[in-house]
Amino acid sequence: DAGVIQSPRHEVTEMGQEVTLRCKPISGHNSLFWYRQTMMRGLELLIYFNNNVPIDDSGMPEDRFSAKMPNASFSTLKIQPSEPRDSAVYFCASTPRVAGGLYEQYFGPGTRLTVT
């Protein structure tokens, strides 16, 4: 398996522009997580989905952030409009459904977002 795939790997944009980050989870995994990592705040959970349904979006910082999971193999995280303080590395992770399982999270390589 190719693992969790994220695109783009790097994104540089100007303040006020719309940014869309994409994630393809590992096939067969039923939970998907979006995280943001910064030096100041560490790793923050933004939102997670179970069976394509958003379960907890309390970590989404503002209404400028939105996430969708239209099917089991694709999710997007959108920021509109973007601001310099959104600059961070955004990770997507997925977890398989295994009864009594380990709940190991498989992380993608991340998207480094820079908003100027």
Partner 1 sequence: GEDVEQSLFLSVREGDSSVINCTYTDSSSTYLYWYKQEPGAGLQLLTYIFSNMDMKQDQRLTVLLNKKDKHLSLRIADTQTGDSAIYFCAEKNSGGYQKVTFGIGTKLQVIP
Strands 10-13, 111-115: parallel, antiparallel or unpaired by DSSP? Answer: parallel
C-alpha 49/C-alpha 29 separation (Å) is 11
Least separation in angstroms between CB 16 and partner 1 = 28
CB nearer to partner 1: give 81 or 109.
Answer: 109
Kindly list the residues in this chain that would bind partner 1 in the complex (CB under 8 A).
4, 30-31, 33, 35, 41-43, 45, 48, 50, 55-56, 91, 93, 95, 97, 102-105, 107-110
Q: Residue 107 in 3-state DSSP?
A: strand
CB nearer to partner 1: give 41 or 62.
Answer: 41
Q: Residue 84 in 3-state DSSP?
A: helix
